[in-house]
Amino acid sequence: MLLESALELQARIFSTIFNFVELPATEGMETGLPGLFLDPYLLETKTARPRKATRKREAEDIALGVSRADKGEAQLAVLVQSRNKIQSRVVEQIVESARGEAEVLYIGRQKPLWTTVRNDPIRLGVSISPTTVAYAGTLGCFCRDGISGRDGILSNNHVLADVNNVPIGTTIMQPGARDRGKAENDVIAELLRFVPVQFGGAPNMVDCAFAALTDHGRAEDRHTLYDSSDVPQPAITMQPGQLAEAVPGMSVFKTGRTTRHTQGRIRAVNVNNYLVDMGVGVARFDGQIAIEMDMSPAQPFSRPGDSGSLIVDEEGRPVGLLFAGSASGGPGNVGITGANPISSVTSQLGVTLI
């Protein structure tokens, strides 16, 4: 079916099967199809609801979307979050309404990624940002400043300093702003130094920044890279005193805010004239590392929000600092990731990994 037909079907199911109420569009709000539908049950107060429901509501544990059919056309996506609902009458009704042009998929109960919530202890790979922005990036690792002697955290310039724009002394929070971090409760550090990103064709070697830890009141797990489980389990122990040189074909790993723990393979080293859209302009980087995914089934090594992740080898030795990536290309067409060699990061920033 056509995309518009799938959206119209979605709206019809919300109305006739789920018994949702469509809200009128308010001025200045463009809802489009399928419109804005709300479950009237959720609008009631708890005291107004019956103490015991005779049966589960039809809408409970079922999400609706649009996916692509084999021939490239649209079809209804029925995303079921409870196994008990997969063979239910309501799912049969939905498929019948779609005249068979529906994909039923069990997705389980959705939870926030552990990397995007407040962590205590603070772990490598969690969400961070300055308190003055609206995005979130990744805490790479802990390090020590060679000038002040203060301990702190390592990430990108574009994560901790918003591409040269955040003043020194600005507080840094975990989780980051995009993950509902709050300046009054979640501050863990303050921006101390960053290597400026240059534009106009001048070559950059790194995209990095250092924030000194403040009295945050949380424990710190400084050496463990955790896996992608909802309850994270240790995957690799980082070896801060043993920096590794990137070599083509080397297997590498990272834990980051968006894709959590992933495995990749170094495709190329000493990559020069590597152009990166920094949001405020295109910057050239030289001496970089290009990384492709190395997982089955194909999964991206990184996605937006993973910037700042520490990249290590199989033994946990630091190899690079993740700073860029594409959404396509490479094996599986899931993108290529760019990284600064970690030796360039530590020397230019003046820090030591701890």
In a domain, 168, yes or no: yes
241 and 267: one domain?
Answer: yes
163 and 90: one domain?
Answer: no
State which of 153, 184, 213 marks the end of a domain: 213
For position 47, what pLDDT does the model report?
45
In a domain, 220, yes or no: no
Q: 238: closest CA among 165, 143, 155, 130?
A: 143
80 and 158: one domain?
Answer: no
End-to-end CA distance of the chain: 56
Mean pLDDT across 165-185 = 97
In a domain, 131, yes or no: yes
235 and 337: one domain?
Answer: yes
- Distances in Å between the Cα of 236 and the Cα atoms of 239, 260, 286 are 9, 13, 29
What mean pLDDT, rounded, does the chain reach? 88
352 pLDDT band (50/70/90 cuts)? very high
* Lowest mean pLDDT across 64-73, 132-141, 278-287: 64-73
For position 233, what pLDDT does the model report?
96
In a domain, 87, yes or no: yes
22 pLDDT band (50/70/90 cuts)? confident
In a domain, 43, yes or no: yes
42 and 129: one domain?
Answer: no
In a domain, 354, yes or no: no
For position 32, what pLDDT does the model report?
53
AA identity, residue 87: Q
Does residue 270 have a pLDDT over 80?
A: yes
| 157 φ, ψ (degrees, to nearest 5) | -55, -45
Tally of domains within the chain: 3
AA identity, residue 242: Q
State which of 106, 131, 164 marks the end of a domain: 106
144 and 199: one domain?
Answer: yes
Query: 113 or 49, which is more confident?
Result: 113
For residue 40, give its domain range.
Answer: 3-106
For position 184, what pLDDT does the model report?
96
Query: 86 or 206, which is more confident?
Result: 206
Mind spelling out the 3-state secondary structure of the chain?
CCHHHHHHHHHHHHHHCCCCEEECCCCCCCCCCCCEEECHHHHCCHHHCCCCCCCCCCCCCEEEEEEECCCCCEEEEEEECCHHHCCCHHHHHHHHHCCCCEEEEECCCCCCCHHHCCCCCECCCCEEEECCCCCCEECCEEEEECCCCCEEEEECHHHHCCCCCCCCCCEEECCCHHHCCCHHHHEEEEEEEECCCCCCCCEECCCCEEEEECCCCCCECCCEEECCCCCCCEEEECCCCCCCCCCCCCEEEEEECCCEEEEEEEEEEEECCEEEECCCCEEEECCEEEEEECCCCCCCCCCCCCCCCEEEECCCCEEEEEEEECCCCCHHHCCEEEEEEHHHHHHHHCEEEC
47 and 92: one domain?
Answer: yes
Query: 55 or 312, which is more confident?
Result: 312
The structure tokens 């805010």 sit at 257
341 and 240: one domain?
Answer: yes
Q: 88 Cβ partners below 8 Å, 6+ apart?
A: none
Mean pLDDT across 83-88 = 84
For position 43, what pLDDT does the model report?
52
Mean pLDDT across 36-59 = 54
265 and 198: one domain?
Answer: no
Mean pLDDT across 302-327 = 96
For position 31, what pLDDT does the model report?
45
* Lowest mean pLDDT across 28-42, 134-148, 217-231, 299-313: 28-42
149 and 197: one domain?
Answer: yes
* Lowest mean pLDDT across 63-72, 86-95, 204-213, 315-324: 63-72
For position 147, what pLDDT does the model report?
94
pLDDT tens-place string over residues 51-77: 444 334 667 778 888 887 666 678 888
Mean pLDDT across 190-197 = 98
Does residue 121 have a pLDDT over 50?
A: yes
In a domain, 262, yes or no: yes
Does residue 276 have a pLDDT over 90?
A: yes
AA identity, residue 21: V
35 pLDDT band (50/70/90 cuts)? low
For position 81, what pLDDT does the model report?
76
State which of 213, 233, 254 marks the end of a domain: 213
In a domain, 219, yes or no: no
Are residues 154 and 345 in contact, defined by beta-carbon separation less than 8 angstroms? yes
- What are 338's strand-pairing partners? 290, 324
For position 71, what pLDDT does the model report?
66
Query: 5 or 179, which is more confident?
Result: 179
119 and 75: one domain?
Answer: no
What is the torsional sign of CA 343, 258, 226, 130? positive
The CATH code of the domain that includes 276 is 2.40.10.10
